[in-house]
């Protein structure tokens, strides 16, 4: 990976700009979250979870740390926005941790 571009100020300090890779990673994260949430509500194939597949893809695309974070946030959004109402906090926490493990599995 390339380093972020830097600007040098006359006073001797440096300013680091955001690189294009961080913008791309943010776009991938948003895309994976959107696909996961859309697929979770539009299931038509029995026994096929689009949400878990998108969590796994987040691990493949973004690596272990970011994949787990995106997978966990996707599951948190799905659990909070569930049409049947949000789950009990213990159930919600276990769902988020379990989906984060799916993101980690994608990175391995």
- Residue 10 pLDDT greater than 60, yes or no: no
Chain centroid offset of residue 61 CA? 10
Say if 99 falls within a structural domain. Answer: yes
Please compute, for residue 62, the number of CA atoms within 13 A of its CA located in the half-sphere on the CB side.
29
Say if 81 falls within a structural domain. Answer: yes
Which tokens sit at 12? 């001797």
pLDDT tens figures, 91-103 = 999 999 999 999 9
Chain centroid offset of residue 15 CA? 28
Say if 79 falls within a structural domain. Answer: yes
Say if 1 falls within a structural domain. Answer: no
Average pLDDT over residues 4-13: 55
Phi, psi angles (nearest 5°) of residue 70: -65, -40
**Most confidently modeled range among 5-9, 15-19, 76-80, 82-86:** 76-80
Say if 46 falls within a structural domain. Answer: yes
Range of the domain at 61: 22-107
- Give the pTM: 0.73
Q: Give the mean pLDDT of the chain.
A: 83
Overall number of domains in the chain:
1
- Residue 108 pLDDT greater than 70, yes or no: yes
Report percent pLDDT > 90 for the chain.
45
Cβ neighbours of 102 (radius 10 Å) = 24
- Residue 39 pLDDT greater than 60, yes or no: yes
Say if 4 falls within a structural domain. Answer: no
Closest to 83 in 3D by CA, of 44, 37, 51, 45: 37
Say if 3 falls within a structural domain. Answer: no
Which tokens sit at 18? 């955001």
Say if 88 falls within a structural domain. Answer: yes
């Amino acid at each position: 990976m390339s380093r972020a571009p830097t600007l040098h100020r006359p006073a001797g300090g440096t300013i680091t700009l955001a690189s294009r890779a961080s913008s791309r990673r943010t776009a991938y994260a948003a895309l994976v979250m959107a696909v996961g949430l859309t697929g979770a509500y539009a299931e038509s194939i029995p026994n096929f979870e689009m949400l878990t597949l998108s969590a796994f893809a987040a691990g493949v695309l973004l690596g272990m740390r970011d994949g787990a974070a995106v997978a966990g946030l996707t599951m948190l959004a799905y659990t909070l926005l569930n049409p049947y109402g949000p789950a009990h906090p213990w159930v919600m926490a276990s769902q988020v941790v379990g989906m984060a493990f799916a993101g980690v599995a994608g990175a391995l």
